[in-house]
Amino acid sequence: MLCAAAVLALLELGLSSAQSPAAAAADPSEQLQRDLNAAIAAGSSTFSIAPGVYRPKRDLLLDNARDLSIGPGGGGSVTLLFTCNWGLVLRSSINVSVSGVTIGYDPPCFSQGIIQSSMPSGALRGHSTFTYTLDDGFPAPIGESATSDARFAQAPIVKCICWDPDTQLSQGLKKLAYTSGSPTNQGPRHIKHLGGRSYELGIIGNASDLYQPGDIVTVSPRAGHTVLLTNSSSCTIEGLTIHGSSDMTLVEYGGGGAHTWRGNKVVRNETKNPLGLLVSNADIFQSSGCERGPLVEGNELTFAGDDCMSEHG
Q: Per-residue confidence of the chain (313 residues) as pLDDT tens digits? A: 333 333 333 333 334 444 444 444 568 999 999 999 999 999 999 999 999 999 999 999 999 999 999 999 988 999 999 988 899 999 999 999 999 999 999 888 888 999 999 876 555 556 778 899 999 888 888 777 776 777 776 676 778 888 888 888 888 777 775 544 433 444 445 778 898 899 988 877 677 777 889 999 988 887 889 999 999 999 999 999 999 898 899 999 999 999 999 999 999 888 887 788 888 888 999 999 999 999 999 999 998 888 888 888 6
Nearby residues of 216 by Cβ (< 8 Å), 6 or more positions away = 112, 113, 114, 115, 162, 163, 164, 165, 168, 277
CATH code for the domain defined by 111-221: 2.40.30
d(CA 289, CA 251): 11
Q: Where in the chain is the domain with CATH 2.40.30?
A: 111-221
Q: Is residue 203 within 8 Å of 189, Cβ to Cβ?
A: yes
Amino acid 24: pLDDT: 45
Neighbours of 163 (CB within 10 A): 18
Query: What is the structure's pLDDT at 4?
Result: 36
216-221 and 158-163: which strand pairing? antiparallel
Q: Residue 26 has what pLDDT? A: 67
Pairing of strands 66-72, 46-49: parallel
The pLDDT assigned to 25 comes to 55
Interhelix angle 4-13/28-42, rounded to 10 degrees, is 100
CA atoms within 13 A on the CB side of 201: 39
